[in-house]
Amino acid sequence: MKNRQTLLTRITNPKYIMVYATIGIFLVIYAAGGFLYGDKGFLTVRTFVNLFIDNAYFGISAVGMTMVLITGGIDLSVGAVASLTGMFIAYGTTVLHLHPLTCIAAALVMGVGLGLLMGWVIHYLNVPAFITTLTGMFLARGVCSLISRESIDIHHPMIDALAGWKIYLMKFADGKWVRIRPIAFVNFNVLLFLVMIIIGAFILQRTRFGRNIYAIGGNEQSASLMGLPVGRTKVLVYGFNGLCSVLAGISYALYVKSGWNLSLQGGELEVITCAVIGGTLLTGGVGYMIGTLFGVLLKSVIPALITFNGNLLSWWGKIATGLLLLLFICIQRFVVTSTGRRKGQ
Amino acid sequence: MPGKNILEMRGITIEFPGVKALDGVDFSLREGEIHSLLGENGAGKSTLIKCINGVNRKDSGTILLDGHEINPSGPNEAMTLGISTVFQEVNLCPNLSVAENIFVGRQPMKRGQIDWSEINRRAEELMSRFHLDIDVTRPLSYYSTAVQQMTAIARAVDVQAKILILDEPTSSLDENEVQLLFSVMRQLRDSGMGIIFITHFLDQIYAVSDRMTILRNGHLVGTYNIDELGKFELVTKMVGKDMDVIFSLKRANVPPDAPVMLKAEHIGDGSRIDDMSLTLRKGELVGFAGLLGSGRTETAEMLFGATRAVHGEIFVDGEKVSIRTPFDAIQAEEAFCPEDRKRDGIIGDLSIRENIMLAVQSRKGFMHPMTKQEQTELADKYIALLGIATPDCEKKAGELSGGNQQKVILARWMAASPKVLILDEPTRGIDIGAKAEIQRLMLEMCGEGVSVIFISSELDEIIRCSNRIVIMRDRAKVAEVDGASCTQQDILRIIAEGAA
């Protein structure tokens, strides 16, 4: 038997198991929703696109989080940094009357800078990522409240234009393009999310930097013995995650058009959940952007189902997400031990 | 025809705090030769290797590569000079594919992107040179240690290495895999590469190398052609006086009426072992012989409660005991040194003192802590008694050599003064001198009335030390023979054919 690569072995490569599980479970839940609430319009394009619109900011942050998790790290500061970005924009435009782009530039400097700093502390001072980023979280959250303890509305022509901008989905009928019914559209947030997923996937799969991320997650000591730039890679990954947090913050500001010091509390955990149910291993070394994309969809399809049901309390969404997370952690455990066994260890 | 020297080391001296690890050692490697580096643990082999690949800096001496002096500051620089090292533990990333492990960090690029098809094609080419026809896109963890080892070599070779250092590459390979590795080594040698080969297996040295260099206690003993030196002379040169220890070992003397210390009746764990019975007298040493997977370790784990015996009865010192967890076993004054000392035995981040204290403290209970001074006294006593090579008892156990770690585990259980001591492969992966030392300690403990179960894959040491030998096969006891009157052939025949 030839052991060479064929299309079949490429598809059945065990490294994709987790991604298949995510996509499979999403399809099952989506199909179940279609079966139960198809008559209420669950299967329409509009419902599907809304999954993206309502969760784009989590998705954008999950792109960076996926990379951090693949290195074997974690970042708890993302929710606070995104919230702080919203505060920058809200306070800057509404109170200080600055241009939003100025505020965004300041937020980028803050987010990326904090990310790089945390990465540096984690690698060079050898402080566990959990502690370092927890500190980052308190820091960012504290500054949020320092700026204002009230919710601030954002009113600026540019922000309004960006938030209101949308592309209607069209179909070709009777010789001309018409909007599909029920009306469905894609907004700036959704595009940003999809673009970030593509950029993330490109970095992870097609650049040396991305492959070093995987190598570090596989075995950091080996990676440095193989001559890979471990320190630089880790610092840059946290920096990139800071960038993603800021973009998520912008996206959230566009979504709610306000800044509030207590917004997105616990958001970091939602983001981590998206990545993990998307097949990213918490122990590092494994994860794919396509998995994260479906992880976001999977996490957002549950509240959608509850809305369609109409009778269930929204807390059932939390319970279902919890169970889902538990299921995925169990699958991961199983996959890790069953592939680890082969070495006879 | 001997090639020219590609590597020459002259008068290499390296000092660590308190020890001279290498003292004026000369070493040379020719083009197209496999050169074995031999010596006990602590003889300076690793230090010499690390001096070549830049992990350690030498204090004096010169290293010439192709006639030019080099002074590599780390593995990366050594690699660019053409010196690659494959370590005992495979230093690759298990989650990456075989192909990627070979090329990560220097992937071929095309239009600013990684050229995956080129990576996979070249990896396949490299692996097929080693007669490995595998799917190189699968994760490394999917394959056996042998394939992983080959991958590490492929990575080393692909950086255009002139010198390849193999540090104990065979310790976790089976016979076929070793042969595969050897054929790759010969192939590389014939293409002009100089290979430095370190192993503990004497047969392998004779099977594959052209020359050998022997170190002892940081000094050069000599460099010899392979046909110049027989095995016995080789061992004598390696261990010096330690050979005498092995020949002076005497079996424990057990009177026929000695009380039974441990008795197991028809125990089984419900899956791996079905029905196992065993008696062990006071001061007796019983050896477990059998192939890997024959049930030796499983039996030991059951006796110690690491896996639960679901049926059968265990008696310690005449009393029926219920052993469900290792804690119960420690309360019943049993002790167990597991097979994989790195994983199950030594706690590398704790000091030698703390490692030794573990079992004593567990026996005394945590309500009765010992003072630091008592602990230090006890630890120092065993360090001296067992000859553990360390500056003091506060050194981290993980920094010791394999043989010394094993001694620390032994000390842990000796300090707890158990009635029954179970040792699973205590001599694996350590050198002959340390092996002799461990065996001597085992027998001394028997002399003090401890009953010992000794599991080993090396029949000669089982026969040398055991009063009785339990032979296991297919997860069951097939025979029990007298240690004094049986031969290796007897045991091998029983292992191969079952009881007569």
Instruction: Mark whether B358 and B414 lie in a shared domain.
Output: yes
User: With contacts defined as CB-CB under 8 Å, which chain B residues touch A285?
Assistant: 93-95
Q: Is the pLDDT of residue B201 over 50?
A: yes
Alpha helix ranges (H) inside A71-187? 78-90, 100-124, 129-147, 157-164
Average pLDDT of A133-138? 96
Q: What is the count of structural domains for chain B?
A: 2
**Rounded to the nearest 5°, which phi and psi values hold at B23?**
-130, 95
Tell me what pLDDT residue B19 has. Answer: 65
Q: What is the mean pLDDT of chain A?
A: 90
- Contact state of B104 with A228 under an 8 Å Cβ cutoff: yes
Q: What is the mean pLDDT of chain B?
A: 83
Least confident among A232-241, A243-252, B125-134, B362-371: B362-371
Q: A220 versus B161: which is more confidently predicted?
A: A220
The Cα of B143 is separated from the nearest Cα of chain A by a number of Å equal to 7
Instruction: Mark whether B174 and B300 lie in a shared domain.
Output: no
User: With contacts defined as CB-CB under 8 Å, which chain A residues touch B143?
Assistant: 342
Confidence of residue B87 (pLDDT cuts 50, 70, 90): confident
Instruction: Mark whether B373 and B476 lie in a shared domain.
Output: yes
Tell me what pLDDT residue A60 has. Answer: 97
Chain B residue with minimum CA distance to A1 = B133
Instruction: Mark whether B273 and B143 lie in a shared domain.
Output: no
Least confident among A189-198, B139-148, B364-373: B364-373
Q: What is the pTM of this model?
A: 0.73
The Cα of A111 is separated from the nearest Cα of chain B by a number of Å equal to 28
- Contact state of B137 with A10 under an 8 Å Cβ cutoff: yes
Which of B114, B120, B144 has its CB closest to that of A5?
Answer: B120
Share of chain A above pLDDT 70, in %: 94
Average pLDDT of B220-224? 89
Q: B9 versus B457: which is more confidently predicted?
A: B9
ipTM of the complex: 0.85
Instruction: Mark whether B212 and B264 lie in a shared domain.
Output: no
Least confident among A66-75, A118-127, A318-327: A318-327
CATH number at residue B92: 3.40.50.300
Instruction: Mark whether B280 and B429 lie in a shared domain.
Output: yes
Q: A215 versus B306: which is more confidently predicted?
A: A215
How far from A148 is each of A90, A101, A267, A281, A319, CA to CA, in Å? 10, 20, 20, 38, 33
- Residue from A233, A335, A336, A343 whose CB has the most chain B CBs within 10 Å, to mutate: A343
Which of B93, B137, B144 has its CB closest to that of A219?
Answer: B93
Nearest to A243 by CA among A105, A126, A92: A105
pLDDT in tens, B473-494: 878 888 888 888 888 778 878 8
Q: Is residue A77 a contact partner of residue A249, using CB atoms and an 8 Å limit?
A: no
Average pLDDT of B155-173? 80
Domain boundaries, chain A: 57-264
pLDDT in tens, A5-24: 566 767 777 778 888 889 99
Q: B429 versus B470: which is more confidently predicted?
A: B470
Give CA angle at B144 (B140, B145), nearest 5°.
Answer: 90
Query: In sequence order, what DSSP letters do the residues of B46-81 get, joined into one string?
Result: HHHHHHHTTSS--SEEEEEETTEE----SHHHHHHH
pLDDT in tens, A275-304: 999 999 888 999 999 999 999 999 999 888
Q: Is the pLDDT of residue A338 over 70?
A: no
Tell me what pLDDT residue A342 has. Answer: 41
Confidence of residue B429 (pLDDT cuts 50, 70, 90): low
Which of B76, B113, B138 has its CB closest to that of A206?
Answer: B113
Instruction: Mark whether B187 and B252 lie in a shared domain.
Output: no
Instruction: Mark whether B48 and B168 lie in a shared domain.
Output: yes
pLDDT in tens, B39-78: 876 678 888 888 888 878 888 889 998 888 888 887 778 8
Boundary-marking domain end, from B217, B241, B265: B241
Instruction: Mark whether B98 and B148 lie in a shared domain.
Output: yes
Tell me what pLDDT residue A1 has. Answer: 36
Burial class, B233, CB count within 10 angstroms (exposed 0-12 / middle 13-18 / buried 19+):
exposed
Q: Is residue B33 a contact partner of residue B190, using CB atoms and an 8 Å limit?
A: no
Alpha-carbon span B188 to B130, nearest angstrom: 10
Q: Is the pLDDT of residue B200 over 60?
A: yes
User: With contacts defined as CB-CB under 8 Å, which chain B residues touch A4?
Assistant: 124, 133, 135
Instruction: Mark whether B260 and B188 lie in a shared domain.
Output: no
Cross-strand bridge partners of residue A166: A187
Least confident among A131-135, A152-156, B293-297: B293-297
Tell me what pLDDT residue A123 has. Answer: 95
Instruction: Mark whether B432 and B339 lie in a shared domain.
Output: yes
Name residue A309's amino acid. Answer: N
Q: A226 versus A94: which is more confidently predicted?
A: A94
Tell me what pLDDT residue A2 has. Answer: 44
Average pLDDT of A190-207? 96
- Residue from B77, B87, B104 whose CB has the most chain A CBs within 10 Å, to mutate: B104
Q: Is residue B238 a contact partner of residue B432, using CB atoms and an 8 Å limit?
A: yes
Chain A residue with minimum CA distance to B107 = A208
Two tokens, residue B121: 């094609």
Q: Is the pLDDT of residue A336 over 80?
A: no
Instruction: Mark whether B193 and B235 lie in a shared domain.
Output: yes
Boundary-marking domain end, from B209, B241, B273: B241
Q: A99 versus B489: which is more confidently predicted?
A: A99
- Residue from A8, A10, A219 whose CB has the most chain B CBs within 10 Å, to mutate: A219
Q: Which residues of A touch B (CB under 8 A)?
A: 2-5, 9-10, 13-15, 202, 205-208, 211-212, 214-215, 217-219, 221-223, 225-228, 285-286, 339-340, 342-344
- What range does the domain containing B270 cover? 246-497
